Amino acid sequence: MRIGVSWLEDWEYCPYKMYLEHILGIDVPPSDELYAGIEAHDKLDAMAVVTEMSLTEMVVRAVKLGEELCVRNSLVFNDRLIGRIDELYLS
């Protein structure tokens, strides 16, 4: 069984909400905080630079050059996990 990356964030935020939505299939209505977060993410996404490098390539390059790295909306895919990571910081 594969789980979405968003399940991990949902679990960290509220394990009960994750259980309701992903296990029982009950929709939890969005909150004002969710709408504020969507707006903040939209602003950050507008400033993002698109690259064809894989996440692994970006991390290896940053470590090799001693650079900080901030990656947004990165695809994660393997036999147990699938989805997108909103933000990844490497310093």
3-state secondary structure of 16: helix
pLDDT for the residue 64: 92
pLDDT for the residue 10: 80
Convert the pLDDT of each residue in 21-57 to its tens digit.
888 999 888 888 878 877 877 877 777 677 777 778 8
Beta partners for residue 19, in sequence order? none
Q: Using CA atoms in the order 53, 54, 57, 58, what is the torsion angle rounded to 10 degrees?
A: 70
End-to-end C-alpha distance for the chain, whole angstroms:
33
* 72, 82 contact by CB (below 8 A): no
Q: What is this structure's pTM?
A: 0.44
Percent of the chain with pLDDT over 70: 97
* Spatial distance between the Cα atoms of 12 and 39, rounded to a whole number of angstroms: 21
> Binning pLDDT at 50, 70 and 90, where does residue 1 land?
low
